[in-house]
Amino acid sequence: MIRVFLADDHPPLRFGLRVLLEQASDIRVVGESGDGKDALAQIEMLRPDVAVIDCQLPTLVGVQVAAEIKERGIPTRVLALSSYAEERYVRGMLEADAVGYLLKEEAPERIVEAVRAAARGEAHFSLKVSRQIAKLYPISEMKRNALTEREKQIVQRIARGMTNKEIANELAISDKTVEKHISSVFEKWEVKSRAEIAARVVREGWG
């Protein structure tokens, strides 16, 4: 069962999301809030699998909530759900390691699938957001080809939501070797988070 928390300051939208998600037999909404600070406190207490977070929240904006989840080491995956694909929101959510970013205009079934993908740790982005990511983090042909075959294997697995330990086990290498390769990818691609790596893999069609 995927345990989900909803953070959005529009009660009718939260209600609609709750009804939509709970129609799925594998999803249960365990909490909700329309306030950023309250949402963070509840997420820290409830430890849901996925937090669906709007970028604009009172007292603590969505990007800050996501950043605090990352900073505090809370094992909850963040899925941004917003009306906006502006650079400051997209960049902020990616740097806070959000695993996906959907716009509220998406079809209901896509939102449900994005929650499932987030629970698996897989990247899921609206087309407009993917285009914004492409502008923010362009990859030159030289940088793309700069990855070694092992690094390509690792970034593909990051996009699938695998942990370093899972990657190490599957590729029969050590955790430290995985960390070394990921550091190399960060440097070559000039990124700061696994979410950025996942977004690029999805955009390049490597997944």
User: Would you say 129 and 85 are in contact if contact means Cβ atoms under 8 Å apart?
Assistant: yes
Q: What is the pLDDT of residue 138?
A: 64
User: Would you say 203 and 137 are in contact if contact means Cβ atoms under 8 Å apart?
Assistant: no
Each of the 207 residues of the chain gets a pLDDT tens digit; together they read 999 999 999 999 999 999 999 999 999 999 999 999 999 999 999 999 999 999 999 999 999 999 999 999 999 999 999 998 888 999 899 889 898 999 999 989 889 989 998 998 877 888 788 778 777 766 555 455 688 889 989 988 887 778 888 899 999 999 999 999 999 998 888 887 787 788 778 766 665
- HEC per residue, the chain: CEEEEEECCCHHHHHHHHHHHHCCCCEEEEEEECCHHHHHHHHHHHCCCEEEECCCCCCCCHHHHHHHHHHCCCCCEEEEEECCCCHHHHHHHHHCCCCEEEECCCCHHHHHHHHHHHHHCCCEECHHHHHHHHHHCCCCHHHHHCCCHHHHHHHHHHHCCCCHHHHHHHHCCCHHHHHHHHHHHHHHHCCCCHHHHHHHHHHHCCC
User: Would you say 98 and 118 are in contact if contact means Cβ atoms under 8 Å apart?
Assistant: no
The CB density around residue 77, as the number of other CB atoms within 10 Å, is: 23
Distance CA 71, CA 15 (A): 29
At 80, the amino acid letter reads A
Q: What is the pLDDT of residue 145?
A: 60
Global pTM value:
0.73
Q: What is the pLDDT of residue 181?
A: 94
Condensed to tens digits (0 to 9), the pLDDT of residues 128-153 reads: 887 787 777 665 554 556 888 899 89
Residue ranges and CATH numbers for the domains of the chain are 2-135 (3.40.50.2300), 138-204 (1.10.10.10)
